[in-house]
Amino acid sequence: MVLQSWRDHARWETRRLLAHVAEFFDDPYDVDELLEAVGLTEQADRRVGRLSGGQRRRLDVALGIIGRPELLFLDEPTAGFDPEARSEFHELITKLAARDGITVLLTTHDLAEAEKLAHRTAILVRGRVAVCGTPGELAAAVQAPSRVEWLENGRPQSVTTSDPSQVAWELHQRFGGPVPGLVIRRPTLEESYLNLVGRES
């Protein structure tokens, strides 16, 4: 488990803290290999209290997975991060999940983050799961519309629809081939969420 915030271990050195926690498990990761995996080799001898926010979150992940878990809980892991630190953290989680087959359960209010990282997303509305699935399944479940854009006689045209494939096919038939400037903008997770909340209220 990686909690949202921390107020502990400031005086421990990074490697020593990780090695100490590793002693509680039967088959932990090698400490130095894990430090390399999370990008903290150069900070191995630095006190935890001197790590940057992004480095501390990397250490938190290392502490969370040192015992080779099958399931990792992340609670608002990038709260307060700048865009660069957030992007680096996303890459780390994606890499670890792919390399070690860890299932990650992420709680976040950042819907762009959920859309980027999650294979499946559950949306909570007033404390209950309102819908769960892939981004495409969520969009279908909440009927969030897509936007189809194209050029006709040199002028931009657009239509909002729940069936963009049908609109694209009809345009293809009408133009007798490729549709100039055709763009299909499917709903983002945020748009799906807002549509769902509006429907539930």
The Cα–Cα gap between 41 and 55 comes to 11
The Cα–Cα gap between 192 and 108 comes to 16
- Whether 41 is in a domain gets the answer yes
Question: Both 99 and 58 in a single domain?
Answer: yes
Residue 9: per-residue pLDDT: 84
Q: Are 21 and 52 in contact (CB under 8 A)?
A: no
Give residue 23's domain range: 14-118
- Average pLDDT for runs of 10 along the chain of length 201: 74 95 94 90 95 86 90 84 81 83 88 85 85 78 82 93 90 93 85 71 59
Question: Both 34 and 109 in a single domain?
Answer: yes
- Whether 144 is in a domain gets the answer yes
The Cα–Cα gap between 104 and 16 comes to 26
Query: Which structure tokens are listed for 118?
Result: 């999650």
Q: Are 142 and 188 in contact (CB under 8 A)?
A: no
Domain total for the chain? 2
Question: Both 108 and 183 in a single domain?
Answer: no
Residue 26: per-residue pLDDT: 94
- Whether 128 is in a domain gets the answer no
- The three-state secondary structure class of 146 is strand
Question: Both 32 and 95 in a single domain?
Answer: yes
Going 68 to 92 to 4 to 134, the CA torsion angle's sign is negative
The Cα–Cα gap between 185 and 58 comes to 35
Residue 91: per-residue pLDDT: 86
Q: Are 107 and 75 in contact (CB under 8 A)?
A: yes
Question: Both 104 and 145 in a single domain?
Answer: no
